Amino acid sequence: MRDLDTNIRPTDNFFHYASGGWMKRNPIPATEAMWGSFSVLRQENRKKLKAIVEEVSQDKKATMGSDAQMVRDIYSTGMDEAKRERDGVSPLLPIFEKINALKKPEDIIPITAYLHRLGFGGIFGFFIDQDERHNDKNVLYLVQSGLSLPDRDFYVNDNEESKRVRVEYRKHIMAMFKLLGKTPKECGIAIESIMRIETDLAKHSMTQVELRDIEKQYNKRTLAKLAKEAAGAEWEKYFRLVGVGKPKEIIVAQPIFMKRTAEMLREISITEWKDYFTWHVLSGSSSFLNKAFVNEHFKFYSTILAGVKKQRPLWERVVGFIDGTVGEALGKLYVERHFNHEAKKKINELVNNLFSAYEAHIKALDWMTPKTKKLALKKLHAMTRKLGYPDKWKGYKGLVIRDDSYIENYWRVHEFEWKRTIKKLKQKPDKKEWHMTPPTVNAYYNPVMNEIVFPAGIMQSPFFDASADDALNYGAIGSVIGHEITHGFDDQGRQFDSTGNFKNWWTDEDKKKFEKKAKVIENEFNNYVAIGDMKVNGALTLGENIADLGGITLAFAAFKKSQEGKERKILDGFNPEQRFFLGYAMTEREQIRPELLKKIVVTDPHSPSIFRVNGPLSNMPEFAEAWGTKEGDKLYREPKERAKIW
Ligand SMILES: [Zn+2]
């Protein structure tokens, strides 16, 4: 209980009350932008992964193509800084040569395709996933992209933070191009080209809030129609060059952006495009280059944008890279050593209890008509779960990893995954696929599969601890489970039916009532000041805030049910209900640097942690009762003003 700060009243600021002591003892390390339960566990996991990587690195005889060999050789090339110093930018020279050979507007599409295949960004992008309206097949989504700052807002907004970021971004481009050997004059011209192109793309990009609108982004087109709507770009050629062939249909997520892109191919001069592509190649490969580039990239993206003081040690960066490339190979080795089968069994039971609580709550809702309730229950009953790690590993058969070059290994993995992705267009969606690796300390809800997924990484203390009392576990992992289930019923998730198709199953009346209730949450969060003059964006964070409130409410109900007939114990001076809320606040504890906070307010659909605790709890009568909140307390809300959906 030394984690608490008892100078603060729990009914004024539960976030600080529950974690103030911990925060004082655990300042943010110099290598981090934030520090809390998630980051501590992630750090511990990285150490476990390091031990695995070092263990398999001893095995000099591992067969070519085995998980151990791939992990071993990516690690050894990643740790070989001396080679990167010797190589400098030489691995990029053939690419720069191709960029320098550009002559006419018709050359832009082929170079874009070439760079996309190598894993570089540029102008737009695409991915292949289930068709949201017909999820028994995969389809191609064409999407906005091509920026180097974290969001379009940083290019077009005129607040202080955006201006600061733009000034620093220009300096960063200058420094990187100087390292490449350009003259100050050339650097100055390049900065203008890059800013002109990226700002134009930004102006025609959807905002983060617009990106939450699924209907608006579901624009199915034939190739012919796309060529007409976004005339001027040879789309057919692009898809052929990236290996997709001639797609029958394409979902154009941002038609205005694509139209503008096609116009820009002709309006922007070839010299400007050369600068733009050179920049994206240079910036995109900086972590594979010599230290001068690595340091300059770190300075801008981690120090200036996120406030981090010091780079993580190289091994941490390389282990993170392995997780992001051959993550299931490493994950398999991780699971063999660290998976807790007992925890999986217990968590499976918790999921069952959360589902039961949800069912009872839906049945008891006073605002929903029986017709919609029936379909909500149908969706709940159809929701599936994945716990721990994949039943079927996706495997890397055919991928060749060598001990020669870090960046070459990256390109090999990228090309391999690229082909795997493109094959999906002709395949049925794979229900066994995972979108997170096993060591990941996180969880997700996937609306097109109507499934909740919890990797092995999150099935550990402080989220789940088999030796802790039920109250803490329900407050911690129980709330996480409830959160993911609620995503199936948040402002976005509710628009997908029980089979995972984007299809309305709500009566107009129920839809209106839901929206009205959601608006209460949106308005509440709009009032929270994150930092300086920057407030939380209630519309951007709506889905997560609905999921938080629903998750804790449902976990609390499941907890109460699990305690029926059991003895009520007081531990450390707290009753079971109080411990439940302490368990929740413990998982959400987090300190964050101001630079990162200013960034996430613009880009992150999650609210800052303090509001993820104080926000939902101020709406819960269960919390008010457990802690005795009353009028005048900062976390007090009039019963009729409290937000509640599920
Ligand atoms: Zn979430």
Going from the Cα of 543 to the center of ligand 1, the distance in angstroms, rounded, reads 7
Distance CA 126, CA 133 (A): 18
Q: What is the mean predicted confidence (pLDDT) over 253-270?
A: 97
Give the Å distance between the CA of 548 and the centre of ligand 1.
Answer: 8
Distance 71 CA to ligand 1 centre (A): 31
Ligand 1: centre distance to CA 544 (Å) = 5
Mean pLDDT of 347-367: 97
pLDDT (tens digit per residue) in 371-389:
999 999 999 999 999 999 9
Structure tokens belonging to residue 233: 């770009």
Q: CB of 230 within 8 A of CB of 258?
A: yes
Q: How far is the CA of 80 from the centre of ligand 1 (A)?
A: 38
Amino acid identity of residue 390, one-letter, is P
pLDDT digits (tens, 9 = 90+) for 424-441: 999 999 999 999 999 999
Q: Mean pLDDT throughout 464-473?
A: 93
538-580 pLDDT, tens per residue? 999 999 999 999 999 999 999 999 999 999 999 999 999 999 9
Counts of helices then strands in the chain (DSSP H, E): 29, 11
Mean pLDDT of the chain: 97
Percent of the chain with pLDDT over 70: 100
Q: 487 alpha carbon to ligand 1 midpoint, in Å?
A: 7
Q: What is the pLDDT of residue 643?
A: 97
Ligand 1 center–CA 492 separation, angstroms: 11
Give 78 Cα–ligand 1 centroid separation in angstroms.
33
Ligand 1 centroid distance, CA of 606 (Å): 7
pLDDT digits (tens, 9 = 90+) for 50-107: 999 999 999 999 999 999 999 999 999 999 999 999 999 999 999 999 999 999 999 9
Q: Ligand 1 centroid to 362 CA: how many Å?
A: 20
- Label residue 527 exposed, middle or buried (CB < 10 Å: 0-12, 13-18, 19+): exposed
3-state secondary structure 294-310: HHHHHHHHHHHHHCCCC
Rounded to the nearest whole angstrom, what is the distance from the C-alpha of residue 435 to the centroid of ligand 1? 14
Taking the centre of ligand 1 as the mean of its atom positions, its distance from the CA of residue 483, in whole angstroms, is 6
Q: Extract the runs of DSSP E, i.e. beta strands, from 91-223.
A: 124-130, 138-144, 220-221
Cα 566 to middle of ligand 1, angstroms: 32
Contact 468, 461 (CB under 8 A): yes
Rg (CA), the chain: 26
pTM of the predicted structure, to 2 decimals: 0.96
DSSP β-bridge partners for residue 140: 128, 250
Between the CA of 493 and the centroid of ligand 1 the distance, in Å, is 11
Both structure tokens of 221: 């087109």
CA of 431 to the centre of ligand 1 (A): 21
The three state secondary structure string of 491-505 is CCHHHECCCCCECCC
233: Cα within 13 Å, side-chain hemisphere:
26
Q: If you measure from the C-alpha of residue 444 to the centroid of ligand 1, how many angstroms do you get, rounded to a whole number?
A: 7
CA of 41 to the centre of ligand 1 (A): 18
pLDDT of amino acid 196: 98
- CA 604 to ligand 1 centroid distance, Å: 11
Task: Please tell me the distance between residue 465's alpha carbon and the centre of ligand 1 in angstroms.
Answer: 22
pLDDT digits (tens, 9 = 90+) for 136-175: 999 999 999 999 999 999 999 999 999 999 999 999 999 9
User: Rounded CA gap, 642 and 638, in Å?
Assistant: 7
How sure is the predictor about 322, in pLDDT bands with cuts at 50, 70 and 90?
Answer: very high
Distance 237 CA to ligand 1 centre (A): 38
**Separation of CA 516 and ligand 1 centre (Å):** 21
What pLDDT shows up at residue 1? 77
Rounded to the nearest whole angstrom, what is the distance from the C-alpha of residue 497 to the centroid of ligand 1?
Answer: 19
Q: In angstroms, what is the span from residue 490 Cα to ligand 1's centroid?
A: 10
